[in-house]
Structure formats: C-alpha cells, structure tokens
Amino acid sequence: MDNQQLGKILIIDDNEDLLFAAKMHLKKYAKEVTIEKDPRRIPFLVNNNSYDVILLDMNFTEDTTSGKEGFHWLKQIKEIDPKAVVILITAFGDVEMAVKALKEGATDFILKPWQNEKLLATLTSASRLKDSYDQVDKLSKKQKQLQSDLKKPYSDIIGTSASMKNIFSIIDKVAQTDANVLILGENGTGKELIARAIHDRSLRKDEIFVGVDMGSITETLFESELFGHKRGAFTDAKDDRAGRFEIADNGTLFLDEIGNLSMPLQSKLLTVLQKREVTRIGTNKAIPVDIRLICATNMHVHEMVMENTFRQDLLYRINTVEIFLPPLRERQDDIPLLADHFLKVYAQKYRKEFRGFKSSAMQLLQQYNWPGNIRELQHAIERAIIMAESDELDSRDFFFLSSKPTNDKVATPASYNLDEVEKNVIQKAIDKNGGNISKAAKELGLTRASLYRRLEKYGL
C-alpha cells in the first residue's frame, strides 16, 4: 500500500493507549495523524484545520455505553463542516446504534478493538469518499463560473489598426508564459477582452478564467470575496465559501479596476501574491493557490505610486508585462469593423434584417469622439437598431450623438495655443507608436510619468 494515501486523519478518543497505537499504525499510510483525548477541543480543531477523515469515539468517560456523547460531537462536527467524513468507533456497538449513526451523518461505523487491516480498509474507503466530495465541490464552482462566461456577447478582439496589431503581437509573446500582465486603458476599451484573449492562448486555456471587479467590492467584503470564509466566521457566513483565488486555482484570475483598492487592501493582496496561498476568514489554515494573474485599471497607477496612493512593490508584482489599450478615438480605422460586428449581433438579437450603414452614418461614427469607447459604440448601435425604420442605418438613426463632441476637435486645434499644440503632438506620437506609451514618451523626450500627467491633463 502506498504511503500517505489517507491524507490527514483526526482521532478523538479518551483512551490514550488506543490513540497512540492507532497513530503508530496509521502514520505509515497517512499524510498526517492528529490525536486528541478531550472532545471539547473538537470545535477548535475542525474550525482551524481540514481533515480527510475523522475517527470519533462514541463513548467518553462521562457516559460509557449509550453513545450519546458521540452523537453530540458528531452533530457539532457536521454543523462546522457539513462535508466532513466521520467514522464512529465504540466498544458497545449494535445494529440500531450503527443505523442511527449513519442517519445522523456518519460515513461508517467500526467496533473496537479493531483489526488493523479492517481499520485501514475502512479509512481508505472514507478517504476516497472525501476526495470525491472535494472534486465535486470544486467542479461545481468551476461549472457555475464557466456557465457565466458563456453568456459573454463575443469572445475575441476586433481590430486591424496599427495600435491593435501591436497589442496582438504582445499577446502572442506573453500568452504562453505565466508572466503577470497589467492592462491599462480608459473605461470601455476592452480590457477584459484582452485578458480573456491572453488566457485563451495560454497553457491554462483548458482551466477556468475568473474575473473580479475590484471597484465593486467593499472594504468589509474584500477578504471574503477573494480569500473565502468558514461558516460562522461572521454574521452572514452561513456556509463555507471558497474565494475567487481558490476557484481560479490552476487557471487565470483577472482583477479589474485594481487601481481602486485602498492601501490596506493593496497590502493584503500583495501578501497573498507573494506567498501564493490564501487563508479563509475564520480559520488559520493556509491554502496554496496556483494562478496566472492579469490586472487592469483605467487609472494612472505610475503617477499614483509617485503620489503614494498605490504601492510600488505591488505594481512591480503585477506588471511584469504592461499593455496599453488606446481609446476608440485613436482607432478610427477599426470603427467600421466594430460597427459591422455589433450590427450583426443586435440584428440577430432583435430579429431584424439590415443591409448595413449608409455613408453618412459611418462618417458620423468615425468622426464622433466616443468618450465611452467601444462600450458606447456598442450601445449606440443597439439603440439605433431598435429605433430604425429602414433596413439601412443612416446618420438620423444616431441623432443622439450629433450634439456631442467629435474627433474634428482632436485632429485640428482651434488655435495655435501652446496647450492645444502640445495636445496634438502627444496624440500623433501615441498614434505613430501604436499606443505604446514607453515609445511615445521616448520620442517626445519625456519620462513615462510626465507623459501620463499630460495624458490626464488633456483627457487623452
């Protein structure tokens, strides 16, 4: 029989000779054997550790025949961990007690003094049952996440502009590695799509992709959401819950809007990333996790480091490779492709037939400034399709955009004002370098931080 095939075993019995004899026999086959004489320590042990099998005596010194104490502690264990695998042991077993034990949640029943081979066979069977429980639980959580992922409206990136070709090149290089990636860009530029594209081309593509909107998680729920909790750890903790790190184990974890985290939460996140393990709230047990980390933000994290609002060591940890997604106003060549894509998606959704766009409509779409980026374009086309009266969209179907700023102001300054000139020069440098901030900064003779400050100043 292979060593350590039984995992972690807990034995509770008031007979010290029996405890030590069982430990000596089982330690050859178990990863860890913990023995305990006092049943009152059961809540502490089960709350702070995870056992594959628990061997529980039915009768202690206060009551040596009825099994009442054993049933009491069985109930306590099941309240703390409903999936616990418990084998009851007694010297006074009978059929009625065995049946009652199974109804109360015990996995099996064994009489003492036992035969070592019988004990080992019973524990082996129980350990396999525990493994199956764990696998079913893990697969169930991943299945729920995967079903949620299937509801995404589209699954890949659309674009042929120079800036997007540069991004595709970066994705091809980084995807096959496990390097941490930081994606920068305005809201609505498609940061999650880039993260998914990296995952889909990685060695972890057959595992789960878990996305977390850090901006929507409150300070009080941060640890519970990301690291998980034990039942009873706080008022609303009615069940054991795995955090997003655990669910993403062996897959990819995408932390969106990471720039919104407060300094204390940044510190907690950094600790987990450094140790590569999480501890659920309400327990001291560290759980190792193996994830590929991708983060994203619309904030200027490099400037935030200079302003002491973002930890420099956390930034180093998350941006082994950095990808900047340009706003849609800098990707005019991609607008027709994106517009055609959304036209097909929403024409099918609303069961309408469309031939496409009239030139006036496409001209308007390409001139508009798109402050909401691709997300705004998507919503604009959905709205136009719903309200359109013909089978071809024209500029009148986008009347709600006509009063908003267009790209004309971006392309041509209204005067020779130095700020306006600088804005245009920066714009052109970014376009020329395909959205690569480092290259644009070098060509402009600026540091990255200085260029970020100007981008924020001019709203670029």
Nearest to 55 by CA among 105, 21, 89: 89
Q: What is the pLDDT of residues 212-270, one digit of tens each?
A: 999 888 888 899 999 998 887 787 777 888 899 999 999 999 999 999 999 999 999 99
pLDDT at 65: 57
Query: How far apart are the C-alpha atoms of 16 and 12, rounded to whole Å?
Result: 10
For 34, 57, 161, 298, 389, the CA distances from 170, given in Å and listed in that order, are 51, 61, 14, 19, 43
What fold is seen in the domain 162-326?
Answer: Rossmann fold (3.40.50)
Domains 8-134 and 162-326 share a fold: yes
pLDDT at 191: 94
Nearest to 12 by CA among 65, 66, 89: 89
Contact criterion met (CB below 8 Å) for 74 and 101 = yes
Which phi and psi (to 5°) does residue 278 adopt? -120, 155
Query: How far apart are the C-alpha atoms of 17 and 115, rounded to whole Å?
Result: 15
Q: Domain map of the chain by residue range?
A: 8-134, 162-326, 329-409, 412-458
What fold is seen in the domain 329-409?
Answer: Helicase, Ruva Protein; domain 3 (1.10.8)
Pick the CATH number of 412-458 from 1.10.10.60, 3.60.10.10, 2.40.110.10, 3.20.20.70: 1.10.10.60
Contact criterion met (CB below 8 Å) for 283 and 238 = no
Give pLDDT tens digits along the chain (460 positions): 445 577 888 999 888 888 888 888 888 888 888 999 888 899 999 888 888 888 888 877 655 556 678 888 888 888 888 888 888 877 665 556 767 777 777 877 777 777 788 788 888 887 877 777 767 766 666 666 555 554 443 346 888 888 898 999 999 999 999 999 999 999 999 999 999 999 999 999 999 999 999 988 888 889 999 999 888 778 777 788 889 999 999 999 999 999 999 999 999 999 999 999 999 998 888 999 999 999 999 999 999 999 999 999 999 999 999 999 999 999 999 999 999 999 999 999 999 999 899 999 999 999 999 999 999 999 999 999 999 989 999 999 998 885 555 554 444 444 567 777 788 788 888 877 767 787 788 778 887 777 887 887 777 7
In 17-35, which positions are buried (b, 16+ CB within 10 angstroms) versus exposed (e)? Answer: ebbeebeeebeebbeebbb
Distance between alpha carbon 45 and the CA centroid of its chain, in Å? 29
Q: What is the number of alpha carbons within 13 Å of residue 32 lying toward its C-beta?
A: 7
Query: How far apart are the C-alpha atoms of 415 and 114, rounded to whole Å?
Result: 95
Query: How far apart are the C-alpha atoms of 457 and 373, rounded to whole Å?
Result: 19
Q: Nearest 5 degrees, angle CA 267-CA 271-CA 277?
A: 145
Nearest to 314 by CA among 245, 255, 252: 255
For 50, 112, 127, 422, the CA distances from 85, given in Å and listed in that order, are 11, 19, 8, 69
Pick the CATH number of 8-134 from 3.40.50.2300, 3.20.20.70, 3.40.50.300, 3.10.450.50: 3.40.50.2300
* Beta bridge pairs of residue 63: 60
Q: What is the pLDDT of residues 393-439, one digit of tens each?
A: 999 999 888 555 555 444 444 456 777 778 878 888 887 776 778 77
Q: What is the number of alpha carbons within 13 Å of residue 198 lying toward its C-beta?
A: 31
